[in-house]
């Protein structure tokens, strides 16, 4: 095993040790009681059996056997960070949501990037659509904006979603992945998948970095303004770092040498204060326009034409803080498309 070049992420333990050199906090049990002895079990004599009254050991083992959770069935492997969203343009004519109430207003956010079909141990640089979900901690509650780095999805009807995901997972008999027959059967039998399939196999299928890809809400949402009038909308977030994709040969090489490449890139950028940011836009469609549309504006396999529904600038979000505990803050974070706020 070759030792990779040390980077900011590799220095985490050393930096933690230096920052906490004078910290004499005590180790405690899960219920807050100080642990008198961490590195030895309570036994009857030197060679004797371990005693059940060693509550420190029992607590340690009980915690250890329960500290993992099953991986997500989709979007299993990901990276996360925290930051803020700032309003830069007035869109109060479309929505009464307080998050957009005034220019300059800031709202804390959490963002999780991910693969869609890859498993928890998969390399970051495989070809896949990438998840791009944002959690806004607003004064009216939590708003979860679940999206991807593609403006569309493979299927329109959500009843097909489990079947489609199964085609990208392991064959139930051979337990091997990928099974190209499963995948291409779905693609050829469902022609609405063609649009996203073209993006999947284009350069955008392997982004060079989570920081250098655009994001989209994908679904069609609705705004409600202070007068009770509603508008349909789609969300777009465009990387201020630009868009950069990866050569498949480079991606294949990195898959073996640095399977956490995207996670490392995001972590190091934030630790080095090279904070990634995205501009936030909406497309607006009135109910009258929706009725006259030549295509279904609620079909996730289709985009809204920018010539008819141009991007309207709303704000900007920046990621400036890495998680202090990845498992607690990123692995266990959840996003629910039904988590909306007043004004939506």
Residues designated as active site: 75, 148
| Conformation bin of residue 310: beta by default, left when phi > 0, alpha when psi is -120 to 50 | beta
**178: preceding bond cis by omega (within 30 degrees):** yes
Q: Distance (Å, rounded) from C-alpha 135 to C-alpha 276?
A: 16
In sequence order, which residues have a C-beta less than 8 Å from that of residue 335 and are 6 or more positions away? Answer: 112, 133, 135, 144, 146
7: which 2 tokens? 């980077």
Q: Distance (Å, rounded) from C-alpha 16 to C-alpha 267?
A: 15
């Amino acid at each position: 095993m070759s030792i990779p070049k040390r980077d900011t992420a590799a220095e985490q333990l050393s930096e933690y040790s230096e920052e906490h050199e004078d910290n004499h906090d005590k180790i405690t049990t899960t219920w807050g009681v100080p642990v008198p002895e961490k590195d030895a079990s309570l036994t009857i004599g030197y060679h004797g059996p371990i005693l059940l009254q060693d509550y420190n050991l029992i607590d340690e083992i009980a915690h250890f056997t329960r500290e993992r959770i099953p991986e997500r069935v989709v979007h299993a492997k990901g990276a996360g960070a925290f930051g803020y969203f700032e309003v830069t343009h007035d869109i109060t004519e479309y929505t009464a949501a307080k998050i957009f109430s005034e220019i300059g207003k800031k709202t804390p956010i959490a963002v999780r990037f991910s693969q869609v079909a890859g498993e928890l141990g998969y390399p970051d640089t495989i070809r896949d659509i990438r998840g791009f979900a944002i959690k806004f901690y607003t004064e009216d509650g939590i708003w979860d904006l679940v999206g991807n780095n593609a403006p569309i999805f493979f299927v329109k009807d959500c009843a097909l979603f489990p079947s489609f995901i199964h085609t990208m997972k392991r064959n139930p008999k051979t337990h091997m992945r990928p099974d190209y027959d499963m995948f291409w059967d779905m693609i050829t039998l469902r022609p609405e998948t063609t649009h996203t399939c073209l993006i999947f196999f284009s350069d955008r299928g392997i982004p060079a970095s989570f920081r250098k890809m655009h994001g989209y809400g994908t679904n069609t949402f609705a705004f409600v303004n202070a007068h009770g009038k509603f508008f349909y909308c789609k969300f777009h977030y465009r990387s201020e770092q630009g868009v950069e994709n990866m050569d498949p040969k480079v991606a294949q090489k990195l898959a073996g040498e640095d399977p956490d490449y995207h996670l490392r890139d995001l972590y190091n950028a934030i630790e080095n204060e090279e904070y990634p940011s995205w501009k936030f836009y909406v497309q607006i469609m009135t109910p009258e326009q929706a009725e006259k549309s030549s295509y279904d504006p609620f079909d996730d396999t289709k985009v809204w034409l920018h010539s008819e529904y141009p991007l309207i600038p709303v704000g900007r979000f920046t990621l400036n803080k890495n998680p202090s505990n990845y498992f607690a803050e990123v692995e266990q974070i959840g996003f629910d498309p039904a988590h909306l706020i007043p004004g939506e």
